[in-house]
Structures are given as structure tokens and as C-alpha cells.
Structure 1
Amino acid sequence: MKNINQKSDNYRAELFLMGGTEDQNWVQDLPYTSCVPAKKNKLLQQLEKFSSILQYLKKEKPSMVISVDTKLIRVCQLCRHFIKPKFPIVSWIHFSLFNEPLVNTKLLPYADNHLCISSGIAKQMKSLGIHHSNLYVIYNPISYIEKIVPRPQGTTKFIYIGRVQMERQKRLQDLLTALSQVDGNWHLDVYGDGEDADSCKRLSEKLGIYDQITWHGWVDNAWKSIHEATALLLTSAYEGLPMVLAEAISRGVYCISSDCQTGPEDLIQDGINGELYQPGNLKQLQSILQSVVTGKELPDQRSMKESIQFMYANSYYAHLQRDFARILDKWNAK
């Protein structure tokens, strides 16, 4: 939001935080208003929330309201009946729609337009009956950095960055099982922690690959600790837009990822910056990993960095402002 305010003379963005925030660091220097309901009774809480949003919208007279919460989409739509001038309501969901319990897909049609962080989410929106003309695929921004993480010589270094989950979303079980069938000189560095960390370590021991893995635990800004890497691995069952892939590609690191819903297909171009495998197809994953270990020629790292040009900040915010203008033009033409 800070970038929107800094990079545009046409738009001023402000946050409304229902329930407030425990971590004040991320809202430093951001214009925001928060509401923490005082009532303990659930019905009274809902009325208090509705009243606070209604009063806020009446006061601010927004040109557009963007919501990352499906429940608040409906609340804003109800509030709009009591406010002039009217404004478009835009959803901005950051998860795969059918895998996140917090997303109530029945409430999405109450938004007039939808910002989609991946083409997969746009497809999911269409499957709900939302017209393609109301969908805007914008992705997420990433900073351009000059640094390239060099590839090690004489060995293969795989890296994993994220929550450590045996199954569920991240499926480290698939990663460890596939790696256990890869011959040659390789090592895996795991940056992240989670409730299944001990279970994953025990599985790696059972599979006979424990000594080929370094479990770093949670590391603040893992990329500062990564000095060499051959490829980043992602075995997720689902995502929204896995920014860890973009972070890797922006540093010239090859990516091997499941082609899960949603996001990887937008970032990985086969033979250009990485490879995709079908989720759950461990034989295919093992074959890809083996080809890298046995010396498959990987793409030029600087060309890889350029392959996600559309996500770098300057391109991203120019695209976002164009979509804001399109949404407002369409609304004002009604």
C-alpha cells in the first residue's frame, strides 16, 4: 500500500483493520484505521462491526473499496445501500479459493470486480460463474535485485523454504520420498519450521537420507543465509501465488515445483526458469531431480531473472494502476 501511495499521483490508499493488529511493525508509516469490537455477545459484535464500517465509509467517501476478506465484501455491499456516492467493491483474495477455510466462495459474487493474484484463481472465479470481464489478474510484486545466487561446483544443492508439513499443504513427505530415490552427490537445505518438523526428520532417517539434509529451522530472511543453490523445490498440494518461487527466480535459482492450484504455472516456464511436475507423481519428480543431479544443463541465470519481468515493482504497479483505472471507468460509465 505504501508503494501505491508513493508511485501514484492518482490514488491514495488507506487501510481499515477490523479487529486491529497485534504486530504494529507492518503498519508503521501506513495510513490506517482499526476497529476492535468491545462487545462480547456475538450478535452485538456483528452490529458493532457493521456500524463501524458504515461510519468509516460515510466519512471517507471512497472511490473504490478493496477487501481481502469475503465476509467483509458482503458487509461493504450492505453498507453501500446507505451511502452516496456509490463505489465499486473489489475482492483481492490471496489463497486458492477451494482450499482455504477462511474463503467463503458464496460471498464473492457480492463484489463487483476481482483482483486475482494468479491465473488459477481467475479460473476458479470463472467456475463460480463470475464473468471474465470482472476479473483482473495482477499477480504480486517483487523487488528487482542484482544479486545472483551462484550454483555450486561438483555437487547439487537443493533448497526448500517454507513451513515444514508432512502432508497437508506443503507435502514434505513427497519431497523426502522422491529424494530418497535420487542417486549421486546432492544435499538439501531446509529453511523453515512447523508442527511436523520432528516427523519429517524421522522420515528422512527412515529413508536413509538424514545425513544429506540440513534442517536450519526458522530463519529470518533465509536468502541472506543462502550462498549457493542449484534449485529450489516446492511440493505443495495447493498455493495462492507461491512467492518463494518468484524470490528464487529473481536470484537466478532454478525451480522445481508441483503444478498445483494455483500459481506455479504463472511463474515457471519449462526450460526457461524451471520445471513443473504433476502433484503426487513422485516418479516424475524423482526423474526431474535425478536429471539435475546427473548434470542436466540449466538455463542462463540472468535470463531466468528476466523471465518474471511482469512481477518487478515498476511493471507491477503500472499494471495495477491501469486496472484500477479500468475498474473505475467501468463503474462510472454505469
Structure 2
Amino acid sequence: MKKIAFLLPDFQEGGMPKVASNIMSGLDGNYHQHLILLDKNSEIRYEHNSEILPVCAKGQSKLEKIQVYIKRIKIVKQLKKKHQFDVVISFGVAANIINILTKQNDKTVCTEHNVKSIENKTWGFFGKVYDVLIKRFYSKPDHLVAISNVMKEDFIENYNIKNDIDVIYNPHKISDIVERSNEELSDSEKQLFSNKTTIINAGRLTYAKGHWHLIRVVAELKKEIPNIQLLILGQGEMEKELKDLASQLNIADAVVFMGFQSNPYKLIRHSYAFVMSSMFEGFPNVLIESLACETPIISADCKSGPREIIDEAKDIHKKITEYEVHKGGVLTPAFDGEVILDTRDLTSSEEQMKLAISKLLKNKELYNDIQSRCAAKASEYDVSKIVKLYENTF
């Protein structure tokens, strides 16, 4: 039996722990699994069937974070010596660099989950450090996995990584999503959907998710669809600013901030559409989850992931100025990155998202056609298919 370790910063929220959890559940019985958590105080919010190996607590100041990182390298190296893993798969820059630096006889598999040349710019000092580390070390693991073709190109073009890069899309437990999406709504949740045309978004309330665009779009849509409602699932540092924007636009009653939801899928299933307004993504799991809930998707054509999911041609170099309707959903022009928290006129990209939502909600034939394809599209990303690609890598 092979010994495999999953190395992550934490296991409490976000795409990386969810992907790791799905891979863990999909592996066959030939693997003895361990979970190395860099933050020893991490909550465990995802399923796993592994022995947990905590490392150490987080640092607070820049100096403490650097000191803690060095300490984590030492501890992980000790864990590798003690357990003699056959494979160690890591998630994200912080874990990947430690995996590479502590390599012994284990096969190192490093996975990345966002377009680093974009994401790192949002991280200030540590983003610049990560850029240097990626250029220096990402040619060294036995396998480097990108979760989209755009990410692969980003590594080659912006980080000069010349070794082979595997592209493996994120795995999803489609049957579990479907089952949970069919759970009955509570009385208060039923009330949310009563006499409403509801669209939904789920994601941390951060710059990357661009929620202000969606709120501004809904304010304009309300003029032609008076009962439109936007549900926003998630928490984050921009929550107050976004609530203030909804109030400023006089649509506070039409934008419902629902915080963290243990089962977002039943809410997604009962919504007319899932709309994603992100500035950038790696591979947006939530779009696949929405397809599994048979809820049509509309997404800004950001880097990366939405076009590879929605456009069957997967033409990752295509740029658009008007919305596009595809069999897998609707793509709208990417946003330019500006944060707009006021009542000025819609930008051209916001206007196109408004037109796309309006068309999908009003054209029943188009809506039914796209909805009829959702389940089959989601099945392409089922864990049973994707994990086989990881097992080949291991």
C-alpha cells in the first residue's frame, strides 16, 4: 500500500481544501492517506479519511510569518523522514515550496489553483516574494499540476517554467452535490424564493470576486424586472462596503447577504441562474456545482476557467466585448479590475452582463435549452473521472 500525504495551509474553507477532500475520497484502497496542515489550529470543514499531522500556528507580523515558515520547513522535513511517504501532493505556493524544499525519497506533486501572475499582484509584499519563489523552484517538483490551460500558459510565459506541466481540472462529487441540492428548504428559505426572480452568487466577499459589479447590474435590472433578487453566499472583508453599495443604490431589499452556508446547493438549485462576477479565478468550482444543481450559469470571461467550462471550443485566447451564448452557459466580457462603489453609469462590461441576465431570464426556450445540458456538462468533472488522472500522476 502506498503512503500519500496531502500538504495544505489549512482545511477550513476555499477551493484547495475542497479539491483535496474530493481527491482523497476518490482514491482507491491502495493508498494510506495523511493530511499535513501547516496551520495546526485549522478547523476541519471538509471530509477526509486520513491521519492528521498538524505543523505549527500562524505568525502575525511579516517577521513572525517568515520565522514560522522556516519552522514549518523543518517540521515537514521531520514528518517526511518519520513517515517515509511515497507521494506528497501539495496545494498552493506556500505548501508547494515547502514540499519541494523538503523532498527526500517521496514523489513531489505540486498543484496550483490560480493564475499566479494576476493573483500575486493582490498580495503585496508576499506576492512579490511568491513570484520569485515560483520562478526559482517550480521547475523542481516531479509533477506540476495546473487546473486550467490558461494557468499552464501563465507558468510558461510569465515564469519561464520549461518542464512538463499537467493540466487536470478540479474533481467534484457530483452525486453528493445533487443529493444535497435536493434537501428541503427551511420555511425561512422558502420565503426567500416566494414571488422572486432569484439569481445567486457564492464566494468570499473579496476583491477577486467582484461582487460590486453584480450589485450594480442588479440595480439596473430591477428597473425592468421589479421582483429580481440577488442572494450572495459567503463572508469576507468587503461585506460592509458591498452592503453600503446596495443601500446607496436603493436595492438593499433585493440583495440578501446570507453569509457562510453549510449547504449552498439547495439554494443554488432553487435559483434561476448562478452569476459569477470574478476578476480572476483558477478553476471556479462553483460553476461546476451550479451545473450539477441544474442551474444555468452566466460568468464574466475572466482568467481562468469560465471559458474552458462554458465554451466547448475552449478558445482560451478569445477576447469578447459582447456577451456570448454557449451550450454550457453564457459568457460576458471580463471586467477591468476597477472597484466601483458608487452610482455612476454601468461600464460596458456591466452593461453586457445585464443584457445577458435579462436575455436568459426572459427567453424561456433558451433557458430550457441551456438548463437541459447542465447535468451532462457537470458529469464531465466527476471525481471518478478526474481522480484517475491524479492516480496516473502518483
TM-score, scaled to structure 2: 0.69
Distance in 1 (CA, whole Å) between partners of 2:363 and 2:32 is 51
Distance in 2 (CA, whole Å) between partners of 1:308 and 1:132 is 31
Amino acid at match of 1:248: S
CA offsets 1:223-245 (integer angstroms, 9 cap, x no match): 33456211111101011222111
Residue 52 of structure 1 and its aligned partner are, at CA, apart by 2.8
Amino acid at match of 1:141: H
User: Map of 1:184-263 to 2, 5 A cutoff?
Assistant: 184-185=225-226, 186-225=228-267, 228-263=270-305
Look up the match of 1:321. Answer: 391
Residue 5 of structure 1 and its aligned partner are, at CA, apart by 6.7
Q: Is the 8 A contact 1:5 1:13 kept in 2?
A: no
Distance 1:162 1:254, change over 3 A: same
1:68 correspondence with 2:87: no
Q: Which moved more, 1:314-323 or 1:257-266?
A: 314-323
Look up the match of 2:331. Answer: 276
Q: Which moved more, 1:137-146 or 1:172-181?
A: 137-146
- Structure 2, unaligned runs of 5 or more: 1-19, 183-192, 312-324, 336-348
Distance in 2 (CA, whole Å) between partners of 1:308 and 1:124 is 26
Number of matched pairs:
316
Q: Aligned match of 1:88 in 107, 118, 135?
A: 107
RMSD (CA atoms): 3.3
Distance in 2 (CA, whole Å) between partners of 1:143 and 1:197 is 30
Amino acid at match of 1:115: V
1:309 correspondence with 2:379: yes
Distance 1:29 1:126, change over 3 A: same
Q: Aligned match of 2:210 in 171, 178, 182?
A: 171
Q: Any idea what SS the aligned residue of 1:12 has?
A: strand
1:181 correspondence with 2:255: no
Amino acid at match of 2:355: S
TM-score, scaled to structure 1: 0.80
Residue 154 of structure 1 and its aligned partner are, at CA, apart by 8.5
CA offsets 1:141-172 (integer angstroms, 9 cap, x no match): 233254678xx99863211222334xx21212
Residue 260 of structure 1 and its aligned partner are, at CA, apart by 1.1
Q: Is the 8 A contact 1:242 1:263 kept in 2?
A: yes
Structure number having the greater helix percentage: 2
- Structure 1, unaligned runs of 5 or more: 325-334
1:52 correspondence with 2:83: no
Distance 1:132 1:277, change over 3 A: farther
Q: Aligned match of 2:116 in 97, 101, 106?
A: 97
Distance 1:199 1:47, change over 3 A: closer
Q: Aligned match of 1:8 in 28, 42, 49?
A: 28
User: Map of 1:112-151 to 2, 5 A cutoff?
Assistant: 112-127=142-157, 128-131=159-162, 133-144=164-175, 145-146=177-178
Aligned residues: percent identity? Answer: 19
